[in-house]
C-alpha cells in the first residue's frame, strides 16, 4: 500500500481534531468577586468551571506566603459558592490564593494590610467534597487560556507543517542549483506555495487565539511580526519567479533566493523571538516560559504530537498533488 501514509495522515487529523474539540477541561476556580479584600470579615463569591459543587457546605481557605486561613463555603449551585471568612491583618504578600477543597486559584485576591505574616488556621475536611468523577481524561484548565487552549492542536501544528514544506522547498532549490533541473524547480515552488497556505492558516488561527487571550487580533509582538515578515518574504519569492521569463535563469535566481528566505524564516521564527532582551507575549519567547514548561502536560501531548504529524502529512499530500498538477500544466503548455 503505497498510499498508507495518506490514510495515516487522515486518521491522525480526525483523531486529533475530534479529541481536541471534545475533551473537557479540568475543573477549576476561574473567578472571584470582589478581587480585593481588606482585613476583617469578608464574603467572596467564587465561580468554578466544569465543577460539580454539591449542595451544602465545604471547606474554603485563603493562602498567603504558605500560610492558610480557613472559612466556610456555602454551595449555591454546581459552579457557584460563597466563601465566608475572617481576613487577618499582616499578610506578607498582596496576591492571595483562594482554595476550595482540592481546587486552587493562585493569586485570585489582592490583599491589603501587609505585615510580617499570619498564623495558619487548621482546615479540616469539607462536609461535601467536590465531585470530580467522570473527568478521567481532561485538558489542563489554565488562566487566560481556558477553552482556547484547544487551538494549540491546530495553530501550532499548522506552523510545523509550513516549516516542513518550506524545508522541502529549499532542498529542491539546492538540488536545482546542482542539476539545473526544471523538475526540481517545479517541486520547489509547489512546496513553497502549499507552505504559504499553511502560513496563512497559522496567521488566521493565531489572530483568533490572540483575540481570545490578549484582547486583540494583532499586537506588536516580535513573533507575530516575524511570522508576517516571513510570509511576505515567500510572497516576494513568487513575485521574483513571475518577473523572469527564461526558465533556467528563473530557476537559478529563485533557488538562491529560496535559500536565503529559509535562513530568514529560521531567524524570524526561532532565533529573534527567543532573545531575552526582546519582549514577547508568546510562550517560550522573550524570556517567557514555554508551553512545555507551563501548559503542555502529558494530556495535551497525547493529542498534540498526532496533530503535528497529521498536519505535516496533509501538507505533503497537498504538495504532491500541486506538483503533479503543475507538471501536467507544463506539458499542456508545450
Write down the domain spans for the chain: 28-111, 146-333
My answer on whether omega of the bond before 107 falls inside 30° of 0, hence cis, is no
Of 181, 178, 186, 162, which Cα lies nearest the Cα of 270? 162
- Tens of pLDDT, residue by residue over 143-180, are 788 889 999 999 999 999 999 999 999 999 999 999 98
How many Å apart are CA 221 and CA 105, to the nearest integer?
A: 28
Q: At what angle do helices 298-333 and 152-179 cross, to 10 degrees?
A: 40
Spell out the alpha helix ranges (H) of the chain. 4-22, 152-179, 182-213, 222-242, 247-266, 291-294, 298-333
Q: What percent of the chain has pLDDT over 90?
A: 46
pLDDT over 90 (residue 252):
yes
C-beta of residue 20 within 8 angstroms of C-beta of residue 307: yes
- pLDDT on residue 145: 84
- pLDDT on residue 259: 96
How many Å apart are CA 112 and CA 114, to the nearest integer?
A: 6
Instruction: Return all residues near 326 (Cβ < 8 A) that are at least 6 apart.
Output: 186, 189, 190
C-beta of residue 273 within 8 angstroms of C-beta of residue 286: yes
pLDDT over 50 (residue 313):
yes
For the domain made up of 28-111, the CATH class stated in words is mainly beta
Whole-model pTM above 0.75? yes
Amino acid at each position: 500500500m503505497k498510499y498508507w501514509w495518506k490514510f495515516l495522515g487522515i486518521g491522525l487529523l480526525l483523531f486529533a481534531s475530534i479529541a481536541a474539540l471534545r475533551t473537557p477541561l479540568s475543573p477549576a476556580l476561574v473567578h472571584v468577586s470582589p478581587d480585593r479584600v481588606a482585613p476583617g470579615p469578608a464574603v467572596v463569591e467564587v465561580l468554578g468551571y466544569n465543577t460539580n459543587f454539591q449542595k451544602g457546605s465545604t471547606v474554603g481557605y485563603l493562602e498567603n506566603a504558605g500560610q492558610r486561613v480557613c472559612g466556610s463555603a456555602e454551595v449555591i449551585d454546581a459552579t457557584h459558592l460563597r466563601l465566608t471568612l475572617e481576613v487577618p491583618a499582616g499578610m506578607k504578600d498582596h496576591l492571595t490564593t483562594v482554595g476550595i477543597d482540592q481546587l486552587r486559584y493562585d493569586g485570585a485576591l489582592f490583599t491589603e494590610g501587609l505585615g510580617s505574616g499570619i498564623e495558619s488556621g487548621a482546615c479540616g475536611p469539607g462536609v461535601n467534597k467536590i465531585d470530580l468523577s467522570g473527568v478521567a481524561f481532561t485538558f489542563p484548565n489554565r488562566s487566560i487560556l481556558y477553552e482556547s487552549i484547544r487551538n494549540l492542536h491546530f495553530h501550532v501544528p499548522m506552523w510545523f507543517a509550513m516549516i516542513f514544506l518550506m524545508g522541502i522547498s529549499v532542498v529542491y532549490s539546492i538540488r536545482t542549483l546542482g542539476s539545473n533541473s526544471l523538475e526540481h524547480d517545479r517541486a520547489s515552488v509547489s512546496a513553497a506555495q502549499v507552505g504559504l497556505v499553511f502560513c496563512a492558516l497559522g496567521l488566521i488561527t493565531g489572530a483568533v487565539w490572540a483575540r481570545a487571550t490578549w484582547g486583540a487580533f494583532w499586537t506588536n509582538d516580535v513573533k507575530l511580526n516575524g511570522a508576517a515578515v516571513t510570509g511576505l518574504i515567500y510572497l516576494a519569492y513568487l513575485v521574483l519567479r513571475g518577473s523572469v521569463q527564461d526558465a533556467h535563469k528563473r530557476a537559478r535566481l529563485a533557488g538562491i533566493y529560496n535559500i536565503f528566505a529559509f535562513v530568514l524564516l529560521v531567524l524570524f521564527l526561532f532565533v529573534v523571538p527567543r532573545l531575552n532582551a526582546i519582549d514577547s507575549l508568546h510562550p517560550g519567547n522573550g524570556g517567557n516560559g514555554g508551553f512545555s514548561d507551563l501548559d503542555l502536560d502529558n494530556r495535551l501531548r497525547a493529542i498534540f504530537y498526532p496533530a503535528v504529524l497529521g498536519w505535516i502529512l496533509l501538507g505533503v499530500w497537498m504538495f504532491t498533488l500541486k506538483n503533479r498538477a503543475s507538471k501536467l500544466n507544463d506539458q499542456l503548455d508545450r
